[in-house]
Structure 1
Amino acid sequence: MIELTGSSLNLAQMNDIIYKEIGVSLNDEALERVNKSRAAVEKIVSEDRTVYGINTGFGKFSDVKIDEKDTKALQLHLIRSHSCGVGEAFPENVSRAMVVLRLNALLKGFSGIRAEVLERFAYMVNNRIHPVIPQQGSLGASGDLAPLSHLALVLLGEGFVWQDGLHVLAATIWNEHGMSPIVLEAKEGLALINGTQAMTAQGVVNYLEAESLAYASEWVAAMTMEALYGITDAFHPAIHEARGYPEQVDVAARMLDWLKGSRLTTIQGEKRVQDAYSIRCIPQVHGASWQVLGYVKEKLEIEMNAATDNPLIFDDGDTVVSGGNFHGQPIAFAMDFLKLGVAELASISERRIERLVNPQLNEGLPPFLSPEPGLQSGAMILQYSAASLVSENKTLAHPASVDSIPSSGNQEDHVSMGTIGARHAHAIIKNARNVLAIEALCALTGCSIRGAEQMAPKTRVKFDQLLEIVRPIEEDRIFTPDIEKLAQFLV
């Protein structure tokens, strides 16, 4: 079990929760804060104080006073009316992350929600009850209103949850578990949907996948270097220390480690004086992508533990302040930045693929790695596919965060579009993984031709692992299954 406190959740723990299905528990001190905050809301209702979202309408309706007898109906109407997401559902791992992140944010004790609701969230995580949440429909300010409303619907026994890859009515699931749906009290609907947890959940999954892919890109590039008799002098520590970027230094050191003991790599002047940039500048380019990952990690771990509700309740209810912590701009920027970092991993990979298949550049390997040039095309169209994916990434990398469309009668007149950025970032990661899968297949073939027995011990391990998944290009075949298998291996 991972204990949630509202302030200490990190990406390593999220990895365990999402991919290893570790359960969660709720910190006692956090629950005390939650109970105090809830008592403050109940006091506000009993005193008939006018506070946004408790006894007023929402957005442009914030000036409309709601009678005490209607406060429950207000929350129910809120969730139903805001559940208007469209498009394909978020993957189940993103839905799971979303539940955890919303739970963790509410545990901070600034939102006035009952502990009973949070305990139900924990039950959902621990019993794999994951809401079906449409991906499209969030502006990324006032929170991820539409996605989080679909999440909240499940608590109410409405909407759908994932079960064995299918969408099952939430009411059916609660019945199977012998539990009743939650009936929302004052402010609880607003507390559930004001937040950035959709973009942040997708962002967490993006980061974890991108980090794994960035490490994989290094050993794939190392195999390509061996297939092309690459020059290792370019990774000399002095070069990278002279520039001073720690990430660049680290990539160079890892590349030397992968290639240690190789009899296929060369030194400058042995075959040529220097390599092309896609080989020689691996530490500089990959290192810059690692800088991006570092930035994204920092912002995600702040946001994962942030209070993003509105209004927020302080001083046992004496201070209730409407603000804008739901605005997703920090994560919108981070996701747009992540798109650039991952797109460049794919871009430089595609250039290495070109060097592997181009007979003018591949140091004597068969043209297009074809077993029978002319009769068989070999890897010719593999490079086309990689080029197409890289080009598509260029359009996806357009920043979502520079766009804004006013909403709610111009009350909400600047929004982040952060959830769009997060979704596009995931598409870029998927494309980049396929590009690197193509490079891995080409590098596997090149090293097979050169002689795997001459490879470095560490890259030879990867070579053998790849051989368990696919064959080198020994004859023309349908390559799509190979790409899919290798992409899965790179996850």
Structure 2
Amino acid sequence: MTDLGSIKTVRFDGAPLTATEVEALARREALAVLSGEIEFRQRIDAGAAFLEQVWREDGVIYGVTTGYGDSCSVNVPQELVHSLPRHLYTFHGCGMGAPFSLEETRAILAARLASLCQGYSGVRYVLLERICLLLQRDLLPVIPSEGSVGASGDLTPLSYLAAVIEGHRELWYKGERRAAAEVFELEGLEPLVLQPKEALALMNGTAAMTGLACLAVCRARYLAQLAARITSLCSVALEGNHFHFDPVLFSVKPHPGQQAVAGWIHDDLKEEEVPRNSSRLQDRYSLRCAPHVIGVLQDSLGYVTDFVENELNSANDNPIIDAEGAHILHGGHFYGGHIAHAMDGLKSAVANLADLVDRQIAQAVDPKFNHGLPANLSGATGAAASVNHGFKAVQIAVSAWTAEALKGTMPASVFSRSTECHNQDKVSMGTIAARDCQRVLELVEQVLAAGMLVGWQGVQLRLRDSELAERDLRPSLRKCLEQTGMRFEFLQEDRPLEADLHRAVACIHERYWTLYD
């Protein structure tokens, strides 16, 4: 990512991109820029020229002069070759379900552009320019989220990108769904007529699942840190034993991510020679084992990110066009197995954060376990305490969100189906895995939003009742209390907390809380 004054840019030139850069494009925090270097342009156009040459000389190229998939034995007459791309995206126009969000759609376009920039897809430079232009102007195809089995790539979702480039179907335009042809007219754009291999190159890849996966790893990275901070707040509110996070303790079980999480929590807490409740040497597992739970996610993020970024920076369509070596190579790079595995694993690790924080919240609101805090963390005093119920309903809702997140961890990759006349007889289900992961992340963010409010309320109650002084808190926790207090009010009298929870989820999305990086 390059910073040009106040504008950050992500450059597409075939060099490796990161998930973080894709996320920046998706969140409109950076602008996509396509390399205009002569060498890059020539390398891209060389693939298209080689394909044209082979077609003119030999007359037979899969997906150019033949049908697709199981129909590859069907020869297409020369006069109909140029109509084949339109037929490909037309018959794949059967997507269902809610459209991908704007962020998800930008990530999908970025992932497809990154793959085509590798120079092995046999497309023209002008096609890359058009995809980049759609990103720059935020002219986004309306892409239904359901209908991909993740091999032969994301055919149905990506057909909506191919169709839009030729001026068909719908775009998101200034917050509205509009016909692509109308939007092009308003924007002064001409539809781009796809060359014979170009619809196949656009569609026969893993861009939908990979774009979602880039967003997922970035969301999960923040949630790991947020769960650690919530644990610190809950440990203070519940008068926990801070020595559960001692570096010496974790030196004998050296999982790096687990050690990092323990270090974060340890640095948040002020050690005392004896815990305030000296009769309780060991806290319940949801406090004591928090680094072990969060650490699984933290340690997984390394390989998951590697899987995702390798896929992002790959040529993942079929056939592969090697202009320099004069080869057309038929294979199965559209298979999304690595993304499927990464997303199936990530959603399980992330869902465990919800389970952890759910248990921390349950401790904090229950006077049998919260070591002297008011029932349900209500701030009401005197007679009003009898009619106020604080976070009671929030704890119930958190259990519902947690249960749904845990239910969503069923691995999608084990549900391969034989499709397309048994040509696609083993498929990845990577896109379903990535969509499932996005849903699990959404639910976990709701749980952690509640966890932040509960942890903050618990510490505020200790401060209010003089059981704790601000000087007893490390600067990181004082900063967290201050940041939270700028957006939320102490729960004195019962109020509907829906707005507070939505605001807390928005804070998570914008990475509002200063954490450990």
How far did 1:9 drift? 0.8
Corresponding position of 2:391: 379
Aligned counterpart for 1:234 among listed residues 237, 244, 249: 244
Corresponding position of 1:149: 159
Superposed CA deviations along residues 286-308 of structure 1, whole A, max 9, x for unmatched, are 11111222221111110110111
Q: Is the aligned partner of 1:365 residue 2:373?
A: yes
CA distance in 2, matches of 1:7, 1:457: 41
CA distance in 2, matches of 1:460, 1:487: 21
Superposed CA deviations along residues 283-337 of structure 1, whole A, max 9, x for unmatched, are 1111111122222111111011011110111254732121100011110011101
**369-378 or 298-307: which moved more?**
369-378
- Aligned-partner SS, 2:90: helix
Q: Is the aligned partner of 1:45 residue 2:60?
A: no
Aligned counterpart for 1:275 among listed residues 266, 275, 283: 283
Q: Is the aligned partner of 1:468 residue 2:486?
A: yes
Q: Does structure 1 retain, via aligned residues, the 8 Å contact 2:106–2:135?
A: yes
Superposed CA deviations along residues 202-225 of structure 1, whole A, max 9, x for unmatched, are 111111111122222221221111
Corresponding position of 1:410: 422
Q: Does structure 1 retain, via aligned residues, the 8 Å contact 2:141–2:171?
A: yes
How far did 1:36 drift? 1.1
Corresponding position of 2:189: 179
Written as runs of structure 1 = structure 2, the 5 A alignment for 1:1-40 is: 1-19=9-27, 20-26=29-35, 28=37, 29-40=39-50
How far did 1:267 drift? 3.3
- The amino acid across from 2:34 in the alignment is S
CA distance in 1, matches of 2:213, 2:420: 26
Q: Does structure 1 retain, via aligned residues, the 8 Å contact 2:232–2:265?
A: yes
Corresponding position of 2:5: none
- Aligned-partner SS, 1:400: coil
Q: Is the aligned partner of 1:106 residue 2:116?
A: yes
Q: Is the aligned partner of 1:431 residue 2:443?
A: yes
Q: Is the aligned partner of 1:419 residue 2:428?
A: no
Q: Does structure 2 retain, via aligned residues, the 8 Å contact 1:367–1:373?
A: no
Q: Given the superposition, is the C-alpha separation of residues 383 and 158 from structure 1 closer, same or farther in structure 2, using an over 3 Å criterion?
A: same
Q: Does structure 2 retain, via aligned residues, the 8 Å contact 1:37–1:110?
A: yes
Q: Does structure 2 retain, via aligned residues, the 8 Å contact 1:232–1:266?
A: no
Q: Is the aligned partner of 1:124 residue 2:134?
A: yes
Q: Does structure 2 retain, via aligned residues, the 8 Å contact 1:349–1:435?
A: yes
Q: Please, what is the CA RMSD of the aligned residues?
A: 1.7
CA distance in 2, matches of 1:51, 1:266: 76
- Aligned-partner SS, 1:468: helix
CA distance in 2, matches of 1:376, 1:122: 55
- The amino acid across from 2:152 in the alignment is S
Q: Does structure 1 retain, via aligned residues, the 8 Å contact 2:63–2:197?
A: yes
Corresponding position of 1:85: 95
How far did 1:266 drift? 6.2
Superposed CA deviations along residues 113-137 of structure 1, whole A, max 9, x for unmatched, are 1111111111112222221111001
CA distance in 1, matches of 2:13, 2:240: 50
Question: Identity rate of aligned residues, in percent?
Answer: 34
Superposed CA deviations along residues 67-102 of structure 1, whole A, max 9, x for unmatched, are 222111011110111121111110111111111111
Q: Given the superposition, is the C-alpha separation of residues 348 and 27 from structure 1 closer, same or farther in structure 2, using an over 3 Å criterion?
A: farther
Corresponding position of 1:305: 313
Aligned counterpart for 1:322 among listed residues 319, 322, 330: 330
Corresponding position of 2:503: 485
Q: Is the aligned partner of 1:213 residue 2:223?
A: yes
Q: Does structure 2 retain, via aligned residues, the 8 Å contact 1:310–1:324?
A: yes
Superposed CA deviations along residues 255-287 of structure 1, whole A, max 9, x for unmatched, are 122224x88x96387352111111111111111
Corresponding position of 1:250: 260
CA distance in 1, matches of 2:350, 2:294: 9
- The amino acid across from 1:254 in the alignment is W
**395-404 or 45-54: which moved more?**
45-54
How far did 1:147 drift? 0.6
Q: Does structure 1 retain, via aligned residues, the 8 Å contact 2:10–2:30?
A: no
Corresponding position of 2:514: none
**450-459 or 382-391: which moved more?**
450-459
Q: Does structure 1 retain, via aligned residues, the 8 Å contact 2:12–2:32?
A: no
Q: Does structure 2 retain, via aligned residues, the 8 Å contact 1:24–1:125?
A: no
Corresponding position of 2:3: none
Written as runs of structure 1 = structure 2, the 5 A alignment for 1:339-354 is: 339-354=347-362
CA distance in 2, matches of 1:202, 1:110: 23
Corresponding position of 2:4: none
- The count of corresponding residues between Structure 1 and Structure 2 is 489
- Aligned-partner SS, 1:162: strand
CA distance in 1, matches of 2:36, 2:19: 18
Corresponding position of 2:211: 201
- Aligned-partner SS, 2:59: coil
Q: Given the superposition, is the C-alpha separation of residues 71 and 379 from structure 1 closer, same or farther in structure 2, using an over 3 Å criterion?
A: same
Corresponding position of 1:455: 473
Q: Does structure 2 retain, via aligned residues, the 8 Å contact 1:307–1:325?
A: yes
How far did 1:175 drift? 1.4
- The amino acid across from 1:363 in the alignment is H
